[in-house]
Amino acid sequence: MIWMLHEIVEGLACGRARGYDCDCDQGQQRDVTESNDDNPLLTGLEPVHDESARVLVLGSMPGARSLDMQAYYAHPRNAFWPIMEALFGICRELPYARRLAGLREHRVALWDVIGQCRRRGSLDQKVEPASIVPNDFDRLFAACPSISLVAFNGRLAEQSFERRVLPDLQARFARIERVRLPSTSPAHAAMRFEHKCAAWARTLAPVVGLRRPE
């Protein structure tokens, strides 16, 4: 798949496809059972997948806009859907259900590491670490036996998975390859869109293939 997105990556420095940072202030830990009416426990979205999925893209926790709309990456300045359009030809203007169908067609699954947490606003830095309840990944991996790559959308997703999921994950699932990609969040503005897109392309192409340039 050497052809992958020449119109995107041509002329770009190779850079690293792995290990991009987005600093997270862990803050002061609090008891998850503590009453906190002005900072309620948030619940994430259901996974998007089918049994043919080969790549699982994991965010940390949906932002406020995504939770309000019950849609992944709903913030208009989040780069996720523009990247999916560049890589797979899934038009960002399509209705949400059709975009999800496009991901399934290309064997890409979506979920978040955190199932529940307390967070003020949308920034990862505002997640209260003691409040984090991870999602059930044994169940998801069992339902998607062809997943061979877990791609973290940013640093908090990777950190949360390694700290709160990996220690209790079944050994066969813990062996699945994992990689951190540059965050598509508008808060991660230090990296240009073209460089983010190139990093995602280099990582996903060997696993799921990309559309051929026209």
Determine the structural domain holding residue 148 and report its residue range: 18-208
- Structure-derived torsion over alpha carbons of residues 161, 167, 168, 173, reported in degrees to the nearest 10: 70
213 located within any domain = no
Q: Which residues of 135-152 are buried (b: 16+ CB within 10 A; e: fewer)?
A: bebeebbeebeebebbbb
Comparing 149 with 123, the larger pLDDT belongs to: 149
Q: Which residues pair with 112 in a beta bridge?
A: 59
Annotated catalytic residues are 78
Q: How far apart are CA 70 and CA 15, in angstroms?
A: 34
Q: How far apart are CA 189 and CA 67, in angstroms?
A: 22
* DSSP string covering 112-132: ESEEEE-BSSS-GGGB-GGG-
Q: Which residues pair with 116 in a beta bridge?
A: 43, 133
pLDDT digits (tens, 9 = 90+) for 171-182: 999 999 999 999
pLDDT digits (tens, 9 = 90+) for 102-139: 999 999 999 999 999 998 876 766 788 899 999 999 99
| Residue where the block lists tokens 């997105």 | 5
Q: Supply the CATH number for residue 166's domain.
A: 3.40.470.10
186 located within any domain = yes
3 located within any domain = no
**What's the one-letter identity of residue 139?**
R
Q: How many domains, the chain?
A: 1
**What's the one-letter identity of residue 204?**
L
